[in-house]
Amino acid sequence: MANGFFTDTTLCIGCKACEVACKQWNQLPDDGYHFTGMSYDNTVHLGSSTWRHVSFIERPVPISGQDNGGLSWLMSSDVCKHCARAGCLENCPTGAIIRTEFGSVYVQPDVCNGCGYCVVGCPFGVIDRNPDDGRAWKCTLCYDRQKDGMQPACAKACPTASIQFGDVDELREHARERVQKLHDEGIHEAYLYGEDAAAQPGTGGLNAFFLLLDKPEVYNLPPNPEVPTQKGKKSWISTGLAAIGVSALAVASVMLGGPRSNGSSAR
């Protein structure tokens, strides 16, 4: 059994209660009190001190059924995806990153040596190194709270049930029902991102997936995420095929060049 998140962006009101709860529970520092030019967003993106991030996205296309002068707001609380195939875990050379009994991807801070291989291994740009001690940090899916039978702080704090926590299989079933309900209400652009492993073979599916109303890129999510090791396998296959091709050309060159050389000697 794997636990995870289903984030329904249609229910997010941008209150940032999840951000606050995450920082409070995990004792994370603030991200500075300075003007970012990013609307109401002072955290800007996920990082070593921000494990939940609420995006405010203004777009020139109205949500279906609304007339608001050609503009609409999309809000979404982003988090580590705890991928079924995690690039950070596969890249870690020290065993600092493990898969827990709850199916989450967890960084052991006492084992991490700060090499940064995990950072380049994440296709979502989630995991980040602390500038002070160099170690990697990200969402733990509140591993400590789960061990005590509690749900993650962000899900508990969310006032609209935009962030839902539980068994991933059950969340997927609920999410599909939610999409169908929205389609029945005329919101046909609603779809799920990351819940189907077959649709995202590069990660094996996400244990923290989303209901979106626009293209993934609008939410700063890659359309086709792929862990680097997946690309590495393809590169080795391509290299092997290229080597076979070169060898075949070399053999053909010798065989075709042999008779001409013999004939020249006879003359």
Give pLDDT, residue 176. 97
b/e map 84-97, b = 16+ CB within 10 Å: bbbbbbbbbeeebb
Bridging pattern class, strands 105-107 and 97-99: antiparallel
Is 7 in a helix, a strand, or coil?
strand
Give pLDDT, residue 1. 76
Is 90 in a helix, a strand, or coil?
helix
Cα 80 to Cα 105: distance, rounded to the nearest angstrom:
9
Is 165 in a helix, a strand, or coil?
strand
Cα 38 to Cα 214: distance, rounded to the nearest angstrom:
20
Cα 156 to Cα 266: distance, rounded to the nearest angstrom:
91
Cα 146 to Cα 40: distance, rounded to the nearest angstrom:
31
Give pLDDT, residue 246. 67
Amino acid symbol at 267: R
* Residues paired with residue 50 on neighbouring β-strands, in sequence order: 47
Cα 74 to Cα 55: distance, rounded to the nearest angstrom:
8
Amino acid symbol at 15: C
Is 260 in a helix, a strand, or coil?
helix
Cα 17 to Cα 29: distance, rounded to the nearest angstrom:
16
Under-50 pLDDT residues of the chain: 235-236, 238, 261-267
Give pLDDT, residue 92. 96
Is 238 in a helix, a strand, or coil?
helix
Cα 57 to Cα 246: distance, rounded to the nearest angstrom:
51
Tell me if 51 sits within 8 A of 35, measured CB to CB. no
Give pLDDT, residue 236. 40
Q: 204: left (phi > 0), else alpha (psi -120 to 50), else beta? A: left
Give pLDDT, residue 261. 46
Q: Tell me if the pTM is above 0.85.
A: no
Give pLDDT, residue 63. 55
CA 176, 179, 184, 188 dihedral sign is negative
Cα 244 to Cα 236: distance, rounded to the nearest angstrom:
12
